[in-house]
Each structure stands twice: as structure tokens, then as C-alpha cells.
Amino acid sequence: MPRKKKVQPVKEAVAKKRTRKLKPKQFQTVRGMRDILPDVQPYWQKVRKAVEKIANDYSYNRIDLPLVEFRELYERGTGKGTDIVEKEMFKFKTQGGDDVALRPEGTPGIVRAYLQNGMQSWSKPVKLSYIGPMYRYDRPQEGRYREFYQFGFEAIGEKDAILDAQVIQMALRVFKTIGFKKMSLQINSIGCSECRPSYNSLLVSYLNNRKKSLCMDCKKRLKNNPLRVLDCKEEKCTQIVSQAPQAIDHLCKECKDHFTFLLECLDELDVSYEINSRLVRGLDYYTKTVFEIWATNDENGARKALGGGGRYDELFETLGGKRTPAVGFAAGIDRVVEKMKETGVKAFYPAIPKVYLAQLGDMAKKKSLRIFEELEKAGIGVAESFGRGNLRSQLNQANQLDMDLVLIIGQREALDETVIIKDMKCGSQEVVAFRKVVDQVRKKLKNNS
């Protein structure tokens, strides 16, 4: 008689299954997100420093906006017919039921902050600058991420075209400070709520006669926002648009005078520009001035927009406030950094320390922290490797880093509160008391220079 197979009790099998070791999951970044690693931070630092400097020079005050806002702010502000709202917003409901979105751009949040915080009573123009991450659910590709960074300048409360000229001047100065040499200012006027409807009718009439030749996206835009057809990059649409009526030929007197004075201001500043009748920008709130700054690649003549902006005089009213004139500019830092690398613009590297602090033993390590702090307070840059216990490896590293001076603290020096100062250029060394280290180091660095 065949022996029956012993059946393992269910509880015992489950228990054994639970005790199996599971391999820890190796996490990756979410698609469209990435780490900005230390080796590229010098490029980012150069952009940040340029933005902060120009903002300070022109008295634009820093504002930081929340990453999460009510979704309706962007639907009403940016425009329901825009790609940002239709396709790209990260939107979700909070546990409390609020319908919110991650910030896809800065301007609607700036307007909300202005209205909410009573900036209407501030002296005009209210000048604001910002820098921070934005989020759009776009198709990830080279140089384009779902989490990206922007900086921007906003001037609120004045309708004079001289503010438009100043914002353009600031944007150009940022890029020149970063190191871009070949740039092109593209500019246009798309009118206001007074003159744009009649131009839109003219444009729609022209495009309807050629509707069959338009791409699918432009056929949709023809209903919601015909101006967006002018900005289409599809070749068949580009050919049709090249013969379309131009907005600047159909401006009302106020818009025409505003644009004329802006161009006169740019002429006064010796800023060269190209009037681009196809330039409309992709957001619903723009009125009158729109502009972009393009970087030109010397090798093949390829041009890429570094950033852009324009007027949004009617946005405050759309978001529940009084009609308030405003003009702004924004640029994507990711794109700027990519172009810096492509065109050979140098990154920002801080001054390299000329002093190395070496220590041997636990007591020496503790004392060296104090010496390090004193030197840093005195404005003397110091390199170190506190984790290393081997004096020879520390001296080798100092040699590789081409240090002028090495400060050595061993057990004896820690007890005596002294430091050995070794001159790496001539090989001489001397023992100095803790209290005299800063003065002696400063003197030796001055002699070496």
C-alpha cells in the first residue's frame, strides 16, 4: 500500500512563507523627476546668484509661493483652453476634500498673493521676484522634466510701457551676467479686450478657409483660442500662419501707443529686437506686450527660448480683484543650465581654499573644530578631512589639492594648544599658539600671494 504524502498544516506553511527574507526594494525617482547632483550645482548656483543680484539691483523683493493651490486658481488664471490646464496639471483632492493642484507656473499665485495680502495699498509698482519648483505632467524628454524650476520678475500696478522695457532689460541682464553672448529679443503686441475680438474674428475667418490643412491641435485651438494657432510648430501650420493677418496691424490706439513707446524705450537702451508677428505665448492672460529671449547657437544657428513674458493687465479682474496693470517675465532654470552647457558658458565655482587642516587623534579632532571655526569667521577658507585618522593620507590629499599651508594638530599640540603650520611651497614649518593662528595664517597667505 503506497505511503500517503504528509500534508503540511496550513498555518505552518503560512508561517514559513512569512519568515522568508524579502529583498529590500531599490527605489528610483518617479518618472519625470530627477536629482540635481553636486557636479551640476555650480551651473545652478551661477543662475541663482545672477537672479538674486539683478533682483536686488532693481529693487524686486523676494516672494515665496505655496506649491499647492486651489485648482480653480489655475483654471481661471492660466486658462481652461491652455495645454497646462487641459493636459499637464498635477491635480488631486486632499483628505479634507479640497480640489487642489501642484503649482504649474508662478503668475496666478503672484496675483492671488497680491490680492489676499493687501498689496493694493503698497506703493506702486509692487516689484516681486521668485524662484522655485513647478510641476507639469508633460512627456519627459531631454531637458524637460515634470518637476522643473523657474525664476521670475513681476511689476504690478503701473500700465506705463517703461515697466515692460525694464523687465526686458532685467531679463537680458540676467542672461548676460550668466554668460550668454548671442541672444535675440523677439517681441509682439497681441492687443487687449478692446481690439483683440475684432482681430480674432479676422484670424478665424482666414484660418477657417484653410482648416483642412491645420493639425488636429490647431483645429481645436480654432474654437477655444485662435491666437495659439500662430504659435504652432507643425510645418504645415507654420506655412499657413506665415500669410495670416498680424495683430499689430489691428491694435486700438491705446495698445498701439503702448507698443510704440515700448519700442522707443528699447531703442534708447540700445536693445536690438525683432518684431515677431507669430509670437503670442501659450497662456490666456497675456495682453498687449509679449516677448521671448532666444539663445543662438553659433555652430548651426539653432535658437532656443531661454524665457519669456509680457503684460497681464486683465488677470486681476479674472481672479476677483480690481483691474490692475502688470508685466512679468519667467524662465526655466533647467533649460538655461542645459543651454549653458551646450554653448560653453562657465559654471560658478567658489574660491578654492588655500589652507588645509589636518588632525591626528580624538583630542586633536575636537580642538581642530575650534580652529576651523575661528579661521572661517576670519574669512579664511579651509579644507579638511575630519573623518580620516591617518596623517599621511591627509597630507597627500593636501598636496593633491595644491594647498599653500597645512595646519597640523596632533596629540601633543592638542595638549599644548598649539598648531604646526607647514608651508607646502617652501617646506618650512613653525609651531604657533592657538590664539595666534589666524594672524599667522593671514600673514603667510599674504606673503605667498
At 270 the three-state DSSP class reads: coil
Which residues is 431 bridged to in the sheet?
A: 420
Q: What is the pLDDT of residue 4?
A: 54
More confident residue, 284 or 53: 53
Is pLDDT at 303 greater than 70 in this prediction?
no
**pTM, rounded to two decimals:** 0.85
Residue with cell string 498689496: 119
Instruction: Please state the CATH superfamily assignment of the domain spanning residues 355-448 in this structure.
Output: Anticodon-binding domain (3.40.50.800)
Query: 282 and 86 in contact (C-beta within 8 Å)?
Result: no
Pick left, alpha or beta for residue 208 (phi over 0 → left; psi -120 to 50 → alpha; otherwise beta): alpha
Is pLDDT at 55 greater than 70 in this prediction?
yes
- Looking at mean pLDDT, say which of 66-70, 195-199, 296-300, 429-433 comes out highest: 66-70
Summarised one tens digit per residue, pLDDT across range 310-324 is 999 999 999 999 999
Band of pLDDT at residue 231, cut at 50, 70 and 90: confident
Q: If you classify domain 41-195+251-343 with CATH, what class do you get? A: alpha beta
Helix and strand tally (H, E) in the chain? Answer: 16, 16
- What is the separation of C-alpha 202 from the centre of its chain, rounded to a whole number of angstroms? 38
Contacts of 423 (CB under 8 A, 6+ apart): 404, 405, 429, 444, 448
> What does the domain layout of the chain look like in residue ranges?
41-195+251-343, 355-448
Band of pLDDT at residue 198, cut at 50, 70 and 90: very high
What does the block give as the cell for 103? 503649482
What is the Cα–Cα distance from 310 to 325, expressed in whole angstroms?
11
Band of pLDDT at residue 446, cut at 50, 70 and 90: confident
% the chain with pLDDT above 70: 93
Q: What is the pLDDT of residue 392?
A: 85
Query: 115 and 109 in contact (C-beta within 8 Å)?
Result: no
Summarised one tens digit per residue, pLDDT across range 15-48 is 555 556 667 888 999 999 999 999 999 999 999 9
Band of pLDDT at residue 188, cut at 50, 70 and 90: very high
More confident residue, 235 or 253: 253
Band of pLDDT at residue 386, cut at 50, 70 and 90: confident
What is the Cα–Cα distance from 180 to 30, expressed in whole angstroms?
32
